[in-house]
Amino acid sequence: MPIITVEHLSKHFKVYRRRTGFWGNLSSTVARQHDIIRAVDDVNFSLERGELVGYIGANGAGKSTTIKMLTGILVPTSGHIDVMGLTPYRHRKENTRRIGVVFGQRTQLWWDLPVIDSFELLKHIYEIPQNLYKQNLEFFSELLQLRPFLSTPVRRLSLGQRMRCDLTAALLHDPEILYLDEPTIGLDVVAKEQVRQFLRQVNAERQVTVILTTHDLNDVEKVCQRLIIIDSGKIIYDGGIDALKERYGKTRMLIIDLAQGYSDIQLEGVDLIRRDGNRIWLAFDRDTISASEVITQLTARYEIQDLTISEPEIEEIVRRIYELGVH
């Protein structure tokens, strides 16, 4: 049975038009006119327990609005949400006790208190049994290397340290679902990889269902098994990342180091994209010609020192989906 079920979910907002001038202001008070913004428009999906899902879209696409409805912050205009047998906006307290939330630009830690004091406060808020609290604090402190700064006030933490503490705070009460909104924003390469590794391990060891919204598609590619793309309030893709690459990332790149500077490079079914001295970049459609066929043509006509096959980046594929307007 799915842990989350979303059926025909919509959220519409009224945006009132504002007129200028005395008569404009007067008419606005008598008969206000408004536009309807369809932030989420007839969205359907379900998640199984233990899934790692990337939920992505451009700014204003509807992803944050969806997450706010799943967490119970917003009430849907129409449609149905079931999260672990609960309707989030009707059962906010029960729902909150079973989920964890991390917003990359906000913190649930108390700014002027030492980190450990924030954890103690959360223990009382969530009514976490002492043995479970101690066990989880030990586990996350070890996994995320928190011990050196547990007694440090939150305001003195680096962004990477604070994010590790926020992840711990969100998971201390053993939630079944973890919602993450831009968890690696502003982090350096090392800190990002620490967060990604942590999410993979928590998911594998504790079967926590993770929903990740982010603009960093490397997060999605390195953490998630499934990708849902929303655009203008509608889902335009829902499936595996490998399937996405197979379907929309058909163009592959072959990078060749030639033994000499051949003046003319011509191959069937292949486009010369770029040239830098003896290095060339060739693009080909995997459905039209295979990499082995391209290499066979190359070796028959030219002397090669080295070659590399490059798969399309997920960011490039997602951008192409937006450009094509796939629905």
Query: Is the pLDDT confidence value at 26 over 60?
Result: no
In sign, the C-alpha dihedral spanning 264, 270, 273, 278 is: negative
Q: Give 254-304 pLDDT, tens digit per residue.
A: 898 988 888 888 888 888 888 888 898 888 887 888 888 888 888 888 988
**In what order do the strands lie in the sheet containing 177-181?**
99-103, 177-181, 209-213, 52-56, 226-231, 234-240
Mean pLDDT throughout 236-254? 84
| Mean pLDDT of the chain, nearest integer | 89
Number of H helices, E strands in the chain: 11, 13
Task: Sort strands 226-231 and 234-240 into parallel, antiparallel or unpaired.
Answer: antiparallel
Burial of 57 from C-beta contacts in 10 A (0-12 / 13-18 / 19+) = buried
Check residue 284 and give its pLDDT: 85
* DSSP class of 72: T
Q: Which of 26-30, 232-236, 269-273 has the highest mean pLDDT?
A: 232-236
Q: What is the spatial distance between Cα 223 and Cα 220, in angstroms, rounded to a whole number?
A: 5
Task: Summarize pLDDT for 146-186 with one digit per residue, the tens.
Answer: 999 999 999 999 989 999 999 999 999 999 999 999 888 88
For range 73-100, the mean pLDDT: 96
- Out of 28-37, 122-131, 288-297, the most confident range is 122-131
Residue 322: per-residue pLDDT: 74
What amino acid is encoded at 300 in this protein? A
The tokens describing 73, both together, are: 């912050």
Predicted pLDDT at 105: 73
One DSSP character per residue, 145-176 reads: T-GGGTTSBGGGS-HHHHHHHHHHHHHTT--S
Q: Nearest-CA neighbor of 84 among 173, 1, 9?
A: 1
Decide which of 32 and 186 is more confident: 186
Domains and CATH numbers, the chain: 4-245 (3.40.50.300), 250-311 (3.30.70)
Side-chain-side CA neighbours of 69 within 13 Å: the count stands at 25
pLDDT at 185: 84
Higher-confidence residue of 164 and 35: namely 164
Q: How far apart are CA 13 and CA 16, in angstroms?
A: 10
Q: In what order do the strands lie in the sheet with 34-47?
A: 34-47, 4-16, 78-83
Q: What's the gap between Cα 322 and its chain centre? A: 16
